[in-house]
Structure 1
Amino acid sequence: MASWGELVSAALLGTERRAAPVPVHAGREPAAALLDAAAVSTVRRRAGLRPAPAAERPAVAPPDPRPELPDAARRRLALLLADRGGHAGSRRGAAPDLTELLPQWLATAGEQGYRAPAALLPALLDAARARTDLQPAALALAGPRALWLARLNDDWKFALRGIGGAAALPARQDHAASQRLWEEGLFAERVALLSATRRLDPAAGLALLAGTWSTERAEDRLMFLDSLREGLSPADEPFLEKALSDRSRNVRATAAELLSALPESALASRMAERATACLRLDEAAEYDGADREQPTAGPVLVVTPPRACDAGMERDGVVAKAPAGRGERAWWMTQLLEATPLGVWPGLLGGRSPEEIVALPVADGRRTEVHDAWCRAAVRQRNAAWARALLGAPTAAGNGISGSAAPGIAASDGEAGSSRDAAKLLGVLPAGERAAWVAEFIASHGLSDAFRLLGVCAVPWAEPLGRAVVDALDIARDAGSYPWSFSGVMGLAERCLDPAAADRLDMLTAQGGEPEDGSPGADGYWSEAFQRLVGTLRLRATMHAELTGRDAPHAGADSGHAGAGP
């Protein structure tokens, strides 16, 4: 019998180039004889192997008392996980992209309180490893068994670092078990415990953290401190004040940011005292700023940045070294403004409303600096009145480069150096008002600058917002352009439009006539894109029905994807 190495070499080279090192009987193919010899050799090698001592059996997986998925939803999850390759690098056609529907499916399954099927846990963890955006929802659905599997497979170690496994947390009444988990648990388990405790009992969560704070690593202290955003209140101020003296700069900065979100905190008062020395109102100044055609007399904000950044300012979170291209004094001033409670300014500036304050001209070309700082303050303090004033009317906002003199975000977005973020400001507004603002913005200015604004709107989109997006897409189609320029918005529409709109959108799937000056074949591509949109909406409706037990609004919901039936 030839050796295993000789058999492998002959197989790699092929029997046409090297004679098989085994007897070949007349009428028999050398390749067949070679394979038979390899099979016999394999059996002999396995039969002669001495059994090794049995390894220690792993601990039994922890129980997960949550209910199992309905059969149709379980099959759907298997299809979604099998389609993880998506349509990258190729034209999508009219088929729904299951990859983009997986996050929504996971979120709905989590809301319904289901657990992931045991047989699909490996595929679910593989999907979460490949896409970090899936990890929170995937680990929550996988529950304690995700952590159990992660300890057995290095490929899934991310689960031990992520925030998941909430189902494995001790009962709220079991204080001893919670304390033991806090002191002995994995980092992910400790973060999950702190977040859950803060959600239910902020004081108990703070007590957990304070008990071990001095022994924690700097990077862990930073993550734990960030968990205090949940349920942040004046009761957290003494602990956060002590954290201002932490040896880690990032921890100090986070503590200062949290304290500045508490308008009644001592830090907020100190920042307000410094900031109010930087701004004053000149009631009868001559203003000839660039955003005015003619000089005007009237109230003007006069800016006087601080002359130095002292130790007290640094302790309160002011970063002394300015970024490249920024003046130091302006840099210090904007940090003071964004950490000052916005409620200070109406009293200081003659009782004016936020809208009236935003409309005031600012001397020396410092309007952008001041307004950008107020934008960051509005986001940090979740102040809807100031966010509304800084955004301005959606019809006046233009495409963000108007540079007009009107109050609102457009008035400063056109100025050099502006760093404000309209999407973050919108996130402060109630969901209904947010959707209405974006709908009016799109109706006035189209989709060119709407992508990030749409991303902060609640899902499913409210009917006026959905209608505005579809109307704008239809206008782009009539203009004769290709749909690829709007692929991002179309993708959002597939995930965010109300599935109930599918039947109403059917009319858009038909092909019409090509515009005379349109791109060749564009109408056919648009028809295909709208077919995909309608098919995806119906598929989403079916997926939701499978998870909730409610009837889908359209019987043919799965027709958009072969093999996607429940």
Structure 2
Amino acid sequence: MNTRATTSAPYTASSDSGSTSSGTDDSARVWEELVTSALLGTDRRPPTVLAGTTGAGTTDAGTTGADPAGAGTTGADLAGALLDAAVLHTVRRRAGLRPGPAAPPLEPAPEDPRRPLPEAARRRLDQLLAGRAAPSPAAGRRGAVPDLAELLPQWLTLANERGYKAPPAALPALLDAARARTDLRPQALRLAGPRGLWLAGLNPEWRFALRGRGAAGRLPSPEDVQGVRALWDEGLFAERVALLAAVRSGDAAAGLALLASTWTAERAEDRLMFLDSLRTGLSDADEEFLEAALADRSRNVRATAAELLAALPASAFAGRMAGRAATCVGLDRTAESPVISVEAPHECDAAMERDGVVPTPPAGRGERSWWLGQLVEAAPLACWIGRFGGRTPEEIVALPVADDWQGELHAAWCRAAVRQRDASWSRALLGAPAVPPATGPGTSSLAERAQLLATLPADERAHWVAAFVAAHGLSEAFQLLGVCAVPWAEPLGAAVIDALDIARDAGSYPWSFSGVMGLAERCLAPEAARHLDSLTALPDEEEDTAPGAGGYWSEAFQRLVATLRLRAAMRAELDGGPRPAGATV
């Protein structure tokens, strides 16, 4: 029988146990002979060394030969003897290895002084991290079980607000979840705390947790002048961005000085990111630096500098843009009733370009209207009060605009109101919720209206969107709902529930409103569950409704109710109280 065996080469380091060079040579010869027999086959090259060897190259009998196993030995016996000899020889040689230097012991994990989670909340975290949701009853259907993965961000926020720390055993799963979902990272790393950063330093897959936190995973204190300077001069780009933001938030002037110290040596793409950090604590003290940045060789840097200067109404830049805009927009003194006349710029000169006006319009926009919009949005909104005879923003917005310039002018004012965070102008430009938004080039879109809403107080925002939903339904309300404070105030929640009920009665399929339904699961106040119980029942199907729509709606409302009750249970568990009735997940 031609039996072949394969073996792995053993370690070859020599020991300090007094082995002679002759012994080492014999050991090498024996191993080479074993390997040769294994490769050629025991029938073609019988081993001359058996498993019973007591010294390199000799058998128990102290002899060698072509068939040391004895007459009548089978091929299977030889193969087994070969493997036994290889194993024995490998162990013998490995036992003679010199021990390597021991690895330095790990630094102990730092202490986390925050309080531990209540037991029920700890179990809930394990469940959310595992994402244990029941499978949908049919392909393509979510079923009536809450989506645990979508509730994890809210749970993390609640836990961090209460000052809890993550259980040590949950840290690996928490870091894995943060690695997979960037939206979880800020809250997940906050809950993980110093021990999470310590653990992240031991696993390359979690190195994202150390980005922007200094070489040791933490930024130096802004009061540590030497540490700040060292990291700013030697740190990675992400670390420097995080450092500048941290210094800027505590001392705006110190942050500006840090940036100015190396500004001319920075790359264009880095200058852009650093300049964006000046939004934190932006004040008139930054004007001189931003004015200089208007001459930057990078167009993007110039545009960002102009945007920041436009947010400083008292800046020289704002004055220049107000002067230019005033020559283009004003009252028509020849008209019988007040009307706004517009004369768009006829050219974009070098001074306008230096102040951030982009000369080339995008496709579909005329040059003059493009230049006009940029001038108006960069001008301080306060300049229009005097320009229009002391009228209020509501009165100015209500004035007719000649020659079809109203859409372009109002859209530019919308952008200015968002940039300058002016609630009075935002309120005037939003208008009544019942009025449908205008459409077409240059007009304010739903996205822009959402940005305007973000400048209003939370309660006013919720009431405005509730009235919009009542007037127009949910098909156009998704972006507007996204800027409302969570949980939704009662008028807004009631308006959304009513609109969903109307859509169900109209026979629509619920997946047409899946985005709004998902928002409702995360944003409705948990107390709203009691108003939804009646909607979970399977309705009678009318002749003019879509087939099967009632069953889908019933399932969607059951999931919504279950999710709201689960959110109530999550909050109670984190507060250490009893779990509310009905929270069975």
Is the 1:300–1:361 contact (alpha carbons within 8 Å) kept by the matching residues of 2? yes
Cα pair distance change 1:303/1:93, threshold 3 Å: same
Does 2:490 align with 1:451?
Answer: no
Correspondent of 2:425 among 386, 389, 393: 386
Does 2:564 align with 1:537?
Answer: yes
Distance (Å, rounded) in 1 between the aligned partners of 2:120 and 2:169: 15
Distance (Å, rounded) in 1 between the aligned partners of 2:398 and 2:573: 52
**Structure 2 unaligned regions, length at least 5:** 9-40, 43-82
Distance (Å, rounded) in 1 between the aligned partners of 2:215 and 2:530: 40
Is the 1:62–1:144 contact (alpha carbons within 8 Å) kept by the matching residues of 2? yes
* Deviation digits for residues 490-549 of structure 1 (CA, Å, limit 9, x no counterpart): 110010011122223222222232233112222222111111111111111121222233
Distance (Å, rounded) in 2 between the aligned partners of 1:243 and 1:84: 52
Is the 2:248–2:256 contact (alpha carbons within 8 Å) kept by the matching residues of 1? yes
**Structure 1 unaligned regions, length at least 5:** 7-20, 23-37, 286-296, 398-409, 562-566
Distance (Å, rounded) in 1 between the aligned partners of 2:418 and 2:129: 37
Correspondence for 2:271:
221
Correspondence for 1:476:
503
Is the 1:282–1:300 contact (alpha carbons within 8 Å) kept by the matching residues of 2? yes
Which amino acid in structure 2 is aligned with residue 241 of structure 1? E
Distance (Å, rounded) in 1 between the aligned partners of 2:115 and 2:326: 57
* Deviation digits for residues 4-41 of structure 1 (CA, Å, limit 9, x no counterpart): 599xxxxxxxxxxxxxx99xxxxxxxxxxxxxxx9x99
Cα pair distance change 1:193/1:70, threshold 3 Å: farther
Distance (Å, rounded) in 2 between the aligned partners of 1:535 and 1:175: 53
Q: Following TM superposition, by how much is the alpha carbon of 1:174 offset from its aligned partner in structure 2, in angstroms?
A: 4.2
Correspondent of 1:415 among 440, 444, 460: 440
Q: Following TM superposition, by how much is the alpha carbon of 1:149 offset from its aligned partner in structure 2, in angstroms?
A: 4.7
Which amino acid in structure 2 is aligned with residue 237 of structure 1? E
Cα pair distance change 1:210/1:546, threshold 3 Å: farther
Q: Which piece of structure 1 moves more, 63-72 or 460-469?
A: 63-72
Correspondent of 1:315 among 346, 350, 354: 354
Is the 2:426–2:452 contact (alpha carbons within 8 Å) kept by the matching residues of 1? yes
Correspondent of 2:206 among 153, 156, 159: 156
Cα pair distance change 1:261/1:48, threshold 3 Å: farther
Is the 2:210–2:217 contact (alpha carbons within 8 Å) kept by the matching residues of 1? no
* Deviation digits for residues 397-436 of structure 1 (CA, Å, limit 9, x no counterpart): 3xxxxxxxxxxxx3xx233453541111111111111000
Is the 1:143–1:166 contact (alpha carbons within 8 Å) kept by the matching residues of 2? no
Does 2:137 align with 1:81?
Answer: no
Q: Following TM superposition, by how much is the alpha carbon of 1:150 offset from its aligned partner in structure 2, in angstroms?
A: 4.7
Which amino acid in structure 2 is aligned with residue 138 of structure 1? A
Write the mapping of 1:267-306 to structure 2, written as runs, cut at 5 A: 267-285=317-335, 298-306=337-345
Correspondence for 1:26:
none
* Deviation digits for residues 250-307 of structure 1 (CA, Å, limit 9, x no counterpart): 222212111101111111111111111111210443xxxxxxxxxxx53222222222
Correspondent of 2:260 among 176, 196, 210: 210
Correspondence for 2:548:
521
Correspondence for 1:103:
153
**What secondary structure is seen at the aligned counterpart in 2 of 1:254?**
helix
Distance (Å, rounded) in 1 between the aligned partners of 2:474 and 2:173: 37
Correspondence for 1:72:
120
Distance (Å, rounded) in 2 between the aligned partners of 1:499 and 1:41: 70
- Structure with the bigger RCO (C-alpha within 8 Å, sep 6+) is 1
Correspondence for 1:333:
372
Is the 1:151–1:157 contact (alpha carbons within 8 Å) kept by the matching residues of 2? yes
Q: Which piece of structure 1 moves more, 369-378 or 79-88?
A: 79-88
Q: Following TM superposition, by how much is the alpha carbon of 1:124 offset from its aligned partner in structure 2, in angstroms?
A: 2.3
Is the 2:536–2:554 contact (alpha carbons within 8 Å) kept by the matching residues of 1? yes
Correspondence for 1:555:
581
**What secondary structure is seen at the aligned counterpart in 2 of 1:220?**
helix
Does 2:485 align with 1:485?
Answer: no
Distance (Å, rounded) in 1 between the aligned partners of 2:202 and 2:6: 33
Is the 2:325–2:372 contact (alpha carbons within 8 Å) kept by the matching residues of 1? yes
Correspondent of 1:139 among 176, 189, 201: 189
Cα pair distance change 1:248/1:136, threshold 3 Å: farther
Q: Following TM superposition, by how much is the alpha carbon of 1:343 offset from its aligned partner in structure 2, in angstroms?
A: 0.7
Correspondence for 1:291:
none
Distance (Å, rounded) in 2 between the aligned partners of 1:47 and 1:538: 66
Distance (Å, rounded) in 2 between the aligned partners of 1:130 and 1:485: 28
Q: Following TM superposition, by how much is the alpha carbon of 1:479 offset from its aligned partner in structure 2, in angstroms?
A: 1.3
**What secondary structure is seen at the aligned counterpart in 1 of 2:413?**
helix
Is the 2:212–2:243 contact (alpha carbons within 8 Å) kept by the matching residues of 1? no
Correspondence for 1:28:
none
Correspondence for 1:290:
none
Does 2:385 align with 1:374?
Answer: no
TM-score w.r.t. structure 2 length?
A: 0.78
Distance (Å, rounded) in 2 between the aligned partners of 1:358 and 1:551: 53
Cα pair distance change 1:45/1:111, threshold 3 Å: farther
Which amino acid in structure 1 is aligned with residue 399 of structure 2? L
* Deviation digits for residues 420-467 of structure 1 (CA, Å, limit 9, x no counterpart): 411111111111110000000111111110111000000000000000
* RMSD (Å), alpha carbons: 3.3
Correspondence for 2:72:
none
Length, aligned pairs only: 504
Write the mapping of 1:112-261 to structure 2, written as runs, cut at 5 A: 112-161=162-211, 168-171=218-221, 173-261=223-311
Distance (Å, rounded) in 2 between the aligned partners of 1:474 and 1:313: 53
Cα pair distance change 1:396/1:106, threshold 3 Å: same
Which amino acid in structure 2 is aligned with residue 353 of structure 1? T
**What secondary structure is seen at the aligned counterpart in 2 of 1:428?**
coil
Correspondence for 2:573:
546
Distance (Å, rounded) in 1 between the aligned partners of 2:365 and 2:88: 74
Which amino acid in structure 1 is aligned with residue 245 of structure 2? S
Is the 1:477–1:523 contact (alpha carbons within 8 Å) kept by the matching residues of 2? yes
Does 2:313 align with 1:263?
Answer: yes
**What secondary structure is seen at the aligned counterpart in 2 of 1:168?**
coil
Q: Which piece of structure 1 moves more, 354-363 or 53-62?
A: 53-62
Is the 2:369–2:408 contact (alpha carbons within 8 Å) kept by the matching residues of 1? yes
Which amino acid in structure 2 is aligned with residue 194 of structure 1? L
Does 2:528 align with 1:501?
Answer: yes
Cα pair distance change 1:517/1:358, threshold 3 Å: same
Which amino acid in structure 1 is aligned with residue 414 of structure 2? C
Cα pair distance change 1:143/1:227, threshold 3 Å: farther
Correspondence for 1:354:
393
Cα pair distance change 1:473/1:164, threshold 3 Å: farther
Q: Which piece of structure 1 moves more, 345-354 or 260-269?
A: 345-354
State, as a whole percentage, how many aligned pairs show the same letter: 66
Q: Which piece of structure 1 moves more, 156-165 or 366-375?
A: 156-165
* Deviation digits for residues 353-396 of structure 1 (CA, Å, limit 9, x no counterpart): 21222222222222221111111101000011111111110012
Q: Which has the larger radius of gyration?
A: 2
Distance (Å, rounded) in 2 between the aligned partners of 1:345 and 1:97: 50
**What secondary structure is seen at the aligned counterpart in 1 of 2:152?**
helix
Correspondence for 2:18:
none
Is the 1:144–1:166 contact (alpha carbons within 8 Å) kept by the matching residues of 2? no
Is the 1:257–1:339 contact (alpha carbons within 8 Å) kept by the matching residues of 2? yes
Which amino acid in structure 1 is aligned with residue 252 of structure 2? P
Is the 1:426–1:434 contact (alpha carbons within 8 Å) kept by the matching residues of 2? yes
